[in-house]
Amino acid sequence: MSSLSPASEVILRHLDHFTDKHVLIAGDLQDTLASQIQAKSVRAFTNQYHQWLPLLKTMEDNAFFGLVADQSFIKYCDTLIYFWPKNKNEATFQLRSLCSNLQVGTDIFIVGENRSGVKSAVELMDGITKLKKVDSARRCSLFFGTQTYQTLFDKNNWWQTYRYDDLTIMSLPGVFSQNALDEGSKLLLSTFDDVMVGDLLDMACGCGVLATVLGKKNPILKLTLSDVNAAAISSSIATLNVNELEGRVIASNVYSAIEETYDWIISNPPFHNGLDTSYQAAEDIIRLAPNYLKKGGKLRIVANAFLPYQDILDNVFGSHEVLASTGKFRVYQATKKN
């Protein structure tokens, strides 16, 4: 992440504004701009674990990862630079949370690519600040306003729930398949007919539905769930709890925080990083899987049929199976040889 995103390059055009400010940078942090801005102080908050790791190296305690930022972390900041994500509900959740702790009079900058829908920030922030567009470049827009009102925020008011297979699924804004189970995950779950035992890792777990369904059907299955998104971590914990299941839920950038080996690794892996298509996470899940599988352990994933994973599976495992296929999705399985 050495190069800056287009949105960060727009912020660079306004550096003079920040020199005497206590700056909080939050939202979809796609680079290390937060460690490069010259100001009285700079803090960074992200709910994406993979975005936090490189910031931690340079900013240490001034970089925070979590679902919501602690009041003590942001209360002295007088300027917010918010990078707009692709999900409007996620942006609403984060901005309402931040503005419940920022003081009236705080300068607020919101920047994002036009294709992300950043222009809707004006309406979203109505009643908190009156935003005006102050710059447009690199197919991005920058809006500015001064906080007029402090918001009220309770994360318990943001839960969405739905039912699947007689289970209750809990989800927060920004989590994949927040309102209903996606077709790819349904296809993946349809391939599990036999009794499962041992240790299971649900990689990129989202709201935890895959591990929850399998854990409920296989009570002796030991569950571990991981994701980079703090909202997904909280959602998975809530989903397990409401369905009276035990499991370990951890933040991990693919396998960065994984130390054990498993009989099963399952995933409906992402193929986007922010707005851009990216196969890196899915390819890393496949390429590194043998290091985290027991002998005879299985990797089972679902992916859009057009995604090029067959060759990677064969190169890593020697072979693979297609367990199910539709016009849009395929379920792949590969086994670690003894």
Query: 277 pLDDT exceeds 60?
Result: no
Q: Which tokens sit at 307?
A: 């995604």
CA distance 42 to 338: 51
Per-residue pLDDT of 116-166, as tens digits, reads 999 999 999 999 999 999 999 999 999 999 999 999 999 999 999 999 999
Whether 125 and 10 share a structural domain = yes
Whether 82 and 173 share a structural domain = no
- Type of residue numbered 258: I
Range of the domain at 271: 159-336
Whether 123 and 202 share a structural domain = no
Whether 112 and 226 share a structural domain = no
Assigned domain for 1 exists = no
Which residues pair with residue 300 across a beta bridge? 266, 333
- Type of residue numbered 191: T
pLDDT of res. 1: 40
Per-residue pLDDT of 13-60, as tens digits, reads 999 999 999 999 999 999 999 988 999 999 999 999 999 999 999 999
Least Cα distance to 273 among 28, 46, 7, 54 occurs for 28
Query: 218 pLDDT exceeds 60?
Result: yes
Mean pLDDT value across residues 52-69: 95
Specify the number of domains making up the chain. 2
Of all residues in the chain, what percent carry a pLDDT higher than 90? 91
Least Cα distance to 125 among 88, 178, 177, 162 occurs for 88
Whether 167 and 311 share a structural domain = yes
Mean pLDDT value across residues 171-185: 92
pLDDT of res. 194: 87
Assigned domain for 140 exists = yes
Residue 219's pLDDT band (cuts 50, 70, 90): very high
CA distance 239 to 241: 5
Residue 278's pLDDT band (cuts 50, 70, 90): low
Per-residue pLDDT of 279-335, as tens digits, reads 788 999 999 999 999 999 999 999 999 888 999 999 999 999 999 999 899 999 999
Cβ neighbours, 10 Å, residue 126? 10
